[in-house]
Structure 1
Amino acid sequence: MTEVATSKTYHHGNLRAELLDTAVEQLKHTGAEDLSLRALARAIGVSQTAPYRHFADKSELLAAMATRGTGS
């Protein structure tokens, strides 16, 4: 059903964790100054405003990344 596909792209199971994971991956290829919450949202496939429910801005995302560590 198309409704299920639409719901899947709209609702993300654990968006905060996915944002952090995707940000870490992007940081491997670019500098912190090039990270963008909206670009991360596009990469994950959620609305460009969805990350702002978890992070007020990029500096809050970077702080969460630093607190979390890279998992290595």
Structure 2
Amino acid sequence: MCLQRHKMGAEDFEPLTMIRKGAFGEVRVYRDKATGHVYVMKKLKKSKMLCRGQVEHVNVERNLLAKVDNNC
């Protein structure tokens, strides 16, 4: 069963810097406007994932990262 998530949008975060750009998107550092906490998020381009057949791989990665609780 997937973990329940609080719905958040792009307007809830302030972009700080880009870490890396990859084949499907980019990884950036964001600050939560409400709490000031800093997060790293991956922004993906769905069209590129679909045409390369990587949807299942991305879903597995998302589910794994959702279960991990680590400050690093």
Bin of the TM-score, shorter chain as denominator length? under 0.3
Q: Which has the higher contact order (CA 8 A, sep 6+)?
A: 1
> Which entry has the higher C-alpha Rg, 1 or 2?
2
> TM (normalized to structure 2)?
0.23
Which has a greater percent of helix?
Answer: 1
State the TM-score, normalized to the length of structure 1. 0.23
Greater share of residues in strand: 2
